[in-house]
Structure 1
Amino acid sequence: MSFGTHREVGDVKYREAQYNATLTAAAEGFAIGSAATLGAGYLLRQRPLIQRLPLAIRTSLVVSGGVMLGVIYADKAGIAFDNMHYDDKGAKVVRRKETLLEQEWNQLSTFDKGLTYAKENRFKVVIGSWLASMGISWLYIQTQPLSTAQKIVQARVWAQGLTVASMIGMAAITTIPSAGDKYLENQKNEARSSWEQIVDQSQKSDYAGTARAAFASHAQELKDSATKVADDIKNSASKATDELKAKVDSN
């Protein structure tokens, strides 16, 4: 988001703060991504494939890694900024739930955190292990006296074997009980319970508003009735006084 483009939308100070937070996160992501790709390029600098690449291509690869991670960081920072500054009932309930989950997460041990992360992101772990096994097996096979076709076949076989092993290991990990299981259960129920609480609070608010309106209406009716009775009594007393005065005058 460009602050210059969107400065007319919404509160200017809010947009400035959001833009600054997004820009800071983008710079952080760019630095991390560039450092990672630069480090990977340095480790692979002796590879013939890397050496044959022109300097412009190698530079673009490093920059692309930084840009991609910078965009991801900026997007997440913008969303997080908006979530932190919502002030409606739903946002307050969600933030309270997130705070409780964060406290519960911080109380877990390092082992439980790792086990919980693996359970929560098991598909990512399997895919990551497949990619890592492909890369490691390819680097190892590159040192063997084989043709390119044989190397590709060997790398695929090794990757498939390691992937199957990782899937079996992940299936075993998911059966290990840990303190993080309660955290995962609470996290899964967070959205549902948050919406239920929001609806419950809204209903209570509506009931309270209806009760206040009914009480005010009833109080007004009582006031009107009392005023009418007082007026009737006053008129009756005035009429009786006039009749008594008329009788006295006639006598």
Structure 2
Amino acid sequence: MPENKLEGQNAAVARGAIEGALSGSAIVAPTWYLLNRRWPAFRALPTTLKTLGAVITIVPLISIRAEHRGLDWYRTGIGKTEREKEREEEQRRWASLSPKDKLAEWTAKHQLSVIVGSWALTMGLVGRKVMRDPLISMPNKVVQVRLWAQGLTIGVIIAAAALTHSQRAQAANMRKHSPDHTWVYLLDKQRLEKERAQNA
């Protein structure tokens, strides 16, 4: 990695670490102050134990913010072109699907949302109809709405299971995490830069 890019990444990570330290301190300082003033058990704790609590809060925030800043730097810099290629490939693949395949893929990816959404929709629709009936008591109305919603939800779950079974290979591919091959692209890019430098 060229020196200026490495410096940029180091600066981003350092900025993230400073942000984490400041945000951790912003959490710990007032908490420590309030606990010292209002809770006698906290005042009785040894200083080393209080410091441990501060460290347990601040250090993870430092590392998390530093990592986030480093990843942000990477996403806007080196890895941007590789991600753009992947995004374009996914858009081409999505555009080539038929509407039926698009619906099936979307449903397979969002099964839980479809199931919960169908349950809520059924509760609303059936509830609206059942609540208008003056001859049924309120507890019976609630039971009727619940039974209708459960029945339809079971039907949706069975349909989702059938869809998943029919698309088992596709579902496995969607769930499988594709490995990050950005490093191959970077190695090729570095090799080309070295060749250009040697030829110049």
TM-score by length of 1: 0.42
Match of 2:159 in 1: 169
Query: How big is the alpha-carbon RMSD for the aligned residues of Structure 1 and Structure 2?
Result: 3.3
Match of 1:160 in 2: 150
Letter in 1 for 2:153: T
Q: Work out the CA distance in 2 between the residues paired with 1:169 and 1:138.
A: 23
Match of 2:46 in 1: none
Q: Work out the CA distance in 1 between the residues paired with 2:175 and 2:87.
A: 12
Quote the offset at 1:203 in angstroms.
2.8
Q: 1:211 to 1:188 in 2, by over 3 A?
A: farther
Q: How is 1:83-232 mapped onto 2 (pairs within 5 angstroms)?
A: 88-144=77-133, 145-177=135-167, 181=170, 185=173, 192-193=178-179, 195-196=180-181, 198-207=182-191
Q: Work out the CA distance in 2 between the residues paired with 1:111 and 1:211.
A: 49
SS in 2 for 1:146: coil
Which structure has the larger Rg over C-alpha atoms?
Answer: 1
Quote the offset at 1:129 in angstroms.
0.7
Q: Work out the CA distance in 1 between the residues paired with 2:193 and 2:96.
A: 41
Q: Percent identity?
A: 23
Q: Work out the CA distance in 1 between the residues paired with 2:92 and 2:153.
A: 34
Contact 2:82-2:185 at 8 Å conserved across structures: no
- Cα shift readout 1:104-151 (whole Å, capped 9, x = no counterpart): 111111111111111111111111111111111211212332112211
* Number of equivalenced pairs: 125
Q: 1:181 to 1:91 in 2, by over 3 A?
A: same
Could you tell me which runs of 5 or more consecutive residues in structure 1 were left unpaired when the two chains were aligned: 1-82, 217-251
TM-score by length of 2: 0.52
Match of 2:27 in 1: none
Letter in 1 for 2:105: T
Could you tell me which runs of 5 or more consecutive residues in structure 2 were left unpaired when the two chains were aligned: 1-71
- Cα shift readout 1:42-90 (whole Å, capped 9, x = no counterpart): xxxxxxxxxxxxxxxxxxxxxxxxxxxxxxxxxxxxxxxxx9xx75331
Q: 1:173 to 1:203 in 2, by over 3 A?
A: same
Contact 2:126-2:148 at 8 Å conserved across structures: yes
Higher relative contact order, structure no. (Cα contacts within 8 Å, ≥ 6 residues apart): 2
